[in-house]
Structure 1
Amino acid sequence: MPFAETLDNLPLSKSDVVRRFEQLIGPKSEAELESMARTSRVLTLQNFGRTMRLFAPLYLSNECINNCRYCGFSRDNPILRVTLSMREVVAEARYLSEAGFRQILLVAGEHPKFVSEDYLVECVRALAPDFPSISIEVGPMSIQDYVPIVGAGGEGLVVYQETYQRAVYAELHTAGPKRDFDYRLNCPERAYAAGFRRIGIGALFGLWRWQEEAIALAAHVDYLLRRCWQAQITVSLPRLRPAAGGFLPVFSISDRELAQLVCALRISFPQVGIVLSTRERPSLRDALVSLGVTMMSAGSHTEPGGYTRRGTEHLHQTVRGRIIPPEFQEGQDQLATGQFEISDDRPPERIAAVLRQRGFEPVWKDWEQALSG
């Protein structure tokens, strides 16, 4: 039974693990929360040691055929768009390699014309010699489309459901293939069948009540651990950030609640990786290091060409499917528009130094494709 069916029956069929998780994210006193934090620290050290995996996103394209009310790349937003050429992708990757990264996440909006299976295969194949760990975060695809990407050297897939509430999802996704809730929800299972060895999921907090999203997310993790048991599962907890389009979230999750959620996930799923992005401000990221987070992005740009300022000569706007030349305002930075605003803009070496000061070892590389045979 695919997870889509499990989700629909979730109110009546929670596993013991999910029921325990639900209790952990309920109202807690300061003493109870500190007890959770102590348990979370111990479990993290037992399963991951004093290490922190560092990675960087490499945005390939901000073209998109979907209308998502909260996303800066939404097709109706009059933003500056570009899809990087292979030479530009390699230049961006070289910049990240020189900064120390060996783990990268290739990110793109969903647009089969600009970000095709062949384009992704070419990107992965070009970068594989220098990056032992390459993951992708793109529009959901079929098993058949994923297989060549895995064959080229892709080892991880990241896909966020955004919200696990069907009605909310339908309201927020007004056009494009992303409207298909179930196809997106079952994407991790297709990725596993295609051979990806790392699978990352998450919800975008701010679209609905955080506790309900967290319970559904925990149920999804629980399901994947049982059904995709040979893959490494990671979970991300992004909070909405300002982006083009000006979407204002009605719901929120506080710093305290986010810390509680990290602890609840670690206690419930001791061996699952927890990812924290540069959406969060430096002080909070530093504080969450010891609570259960095991993987962090660093020095991130969310616009294609952001690291090297490549691709600017191809900038354009897309209006009703037509590509038109951009109109720049005086003093406007001539770069592609980013997906969202970054909160932690510290360079990678600074983040690595802070980790060492806190007794953690930054891990730039933890996998070698040759070891997989």
Structure 2
Amino acid sequence: SGIAYIEKAIDIIYSTKADKGEIRRINVNVAPLHVEEYRRLKSAGIGTYQLFQETYHLSTYKEMHPTGPKGNYNYRLSALSRAMEAGIDDVGMGVLFGLYDYKFEVLALLCHARQLEKEYGVGPHTVSVPRIEPAAGAPISINPPHAVSDEDFMKLVAILRLAIPYTGIILSTRESTELRNRLFHIGASQISTNSRTYPGGYTAADEESASKGQFSIGDKRTTCEVIKHISNDGFAPSFCTACYRVGRTGHEFMEFAKPGEIQRFCLPNSILSFKEYLLDYGDEELRRTGDTLIRSQTASIEDTKLRNATIKKLEEIEQGKRDLYF
């Protein structure tokens, strides 16, 4: 069955070890499931379960999905609630901007987030904000009915950051390099890099296959190139998975995140995970820039005991230890 295939894939990914590391957390974006299937997904050890409504506007949704498994608006809308009922306490939501008026979509998404928090005590761990981009076989992608300009896109990201300050706002590689760089200063906090959106994309990188992707790529930089730019801009790249390792999810995460106290853990953990990346995957240029940033950010940790503990863990990473966190 579909869920059995997903369970097997997750198990293979977690059990695969490379010379310099392994996958420590798998976020899953799959079609709506039944409660029992979500329980199996939870047991498989996933991080965040993501599902995008695409559009909250009912008549537009029905027009876009007149038949097939995706055609049930209410079943999709209630999927995150079923995931919560099954014990998945970190969920991600999103809208495909361009299908309907972005103002309506943002308000509907915020209402959905508030409903989850009211009913389950936990709001969305992440919010994704993809815009429609040209894609093969999708005529509507060439001329979206409610295209969102760059200016309005930046505005909606800022609004989401103000309205849900605790959530991670995710940008895909659909957006251009320049726009993604600007959005970091406005409210975006997570990005994908080096994406391939077509079947077999990470084994066959030819242009013909790329033209058949789910959407066109706006930012084609490698992960290392993106991190160099982030570092040069003064931001701290983070590969942290600590909250999932210590059970700081769901209600416990909200208790730290809503008042902003999560930063006590986020800064030292981002420093430690970034140091790992520099040693295992960074080139000489990135290591120089990254080490300068790490020294500056470590010095900014106000709690003396926590700062000294971070320095000690950095020394352990230099000596070969990995996967250290608070």
Query: TM-score under structure 1 normalisation?
Result: 0.60
Asked if 1 retains the 8 angstrom alpha-carbon contact of 2:98 and 2:132, the reply is: yes
Structure 1's consecutive aligned runs of 4 or more residues displaced over 4 angstroms after TM superposition are none
Contact 2:29 2:51 in 1 (8 A): yes
2:31 aligned residue: 139
- Aligned residue among 296, 308, 311 for 2:203: 308
Alpha-carbon distance between aligned partners in 1 of 2:182 and 2:228, rounded to the nearest angstrom: 15
The separation in 2 between residues aligned to 1:302 and 1:190, in whole angstroms, is 28
My pick for the range that moved more, 235-244 or 146-155, is 146-155
In 2, distance between residues paired with 1:337 and 1:241? 13
- Are 2:24 and 1:124 aligned? no
Matching of residue 346 in structure 1 with residue 197 in structure 2: no
What is the identity percentage for the equivalent residue pairs of Structure 1 and Structure 2? 33
Q: Deviations over 1:159-210 (max 9, x none)?
A: 1111111111111102211110000001111111222232111111111111
Higher helix share: 2
Matching of residues 156-235 of structure 1 within 5 Å: 156-230=48-122, 233-235=125-127
Distance 1:335 1:346, change over 3 A: closer
- C-alpha distance in 1, partners of 2:245/2:91? 20
The CA distance in 1 between the partners of 2:110 and 2:243, in whole Å, is: 30
Decide which of 151, 166, 182 is 1:271's aligned counterpart: 166
Does the residue aligned with 2:200 lie in a helix, a strand or coil? coil
Q: 1:180 to 1:232 in 2, by over 3 A?
A: closer
| CA deviation after TM superposition for structure 1 residue 232, in Å | 5.1
Pair 292,370 (structure 1): closer, same or farther in 2 beyond 3 Å: closer
Quote how far apart the aligned CAs of 1:242 are.
0.6
1:230 and 1:208 map into 2 onto residues whose CA distance is: 27
Change beyond 3 A, Cα 1:344–1:225: same
* Residue 239 (structure 2) aligns with: 364
The amino acid across from 1:126 in the alignment is I
Q: CA contact under 8 A between 2:61 and 2:73: conserved in structure 1?
A: yes
Query: 275-284 or 193-202, which moves further after superposition?
Result: 193-202
1:229 CA displacement: 2.6
Q: Match of 1:236?
A: 128
Bigger CA drift: 130-139 or 275-284? 130-139
Does residue 1:290 correspond to 2:290, yes or no?
A: no
Listed as ranges, the matches of 1:29-44 within 5 Å are none
CA spacing shift, 1:225–1:368, aligned 2, 3 Å: closer
Aligned equivalents of 1:283 and 1:228: distance in 2? 38
Structure 2: stretches of 5+ with no match in the other structure: 16-21, 249-326
Does structure 1 retain, via aligned residues, the 8 Å contact 2:26–2:48?
Answer: yes
Higher relative contact order (CA 8 A, sep 6+): 1
Q: Tell me the SS of whatever aligns to 1:163.
A: coil
Residue 256 in 1 paired to residue 131 in 2? no
Which is further off, 128-137 or 338-347? 128-137
Q: Which amino acid aligns with 2:233?
A: R
- 1:121–1:149 Cα contact (<8 Å) kept: yes
CA contact 1:278–1:297 (8 Å) conserved in 2:
yes
Are 1:235 and 1:273, in contact at CA under 8 Å, matched by a contact in 2?
yes
Shift of 1:372: 3.2
Q: Distance in 1 between matches of 2:196 and 2:60?
A: 29
State how far apart, in whole Å, the 1-side matches of 2:105 and 2:83 are.
22
Quick one: which amino acid aligns to residue 188 of structure 2? Answer: V
Q: Alpha-carbon deviations, 1:242-264, whole Å to 9, x = none?
A: 11222231211111111111111
Corresponding residue SS for 2:66: strand
| CA drift at 1:225 | 2.5
Give the equivalent residue in structure 2 for 1:299: 194
Q: Distance in 1 between matches of 2:202 and 2:102?
A: 33
- Residues 247-299 of structure 1, C-alpha deviation per residue, up to 9 Å, x if partnerless? 23121111111111111111122112111111100000000012111111111
One-letter identity of the residue aligned with 2:11: R
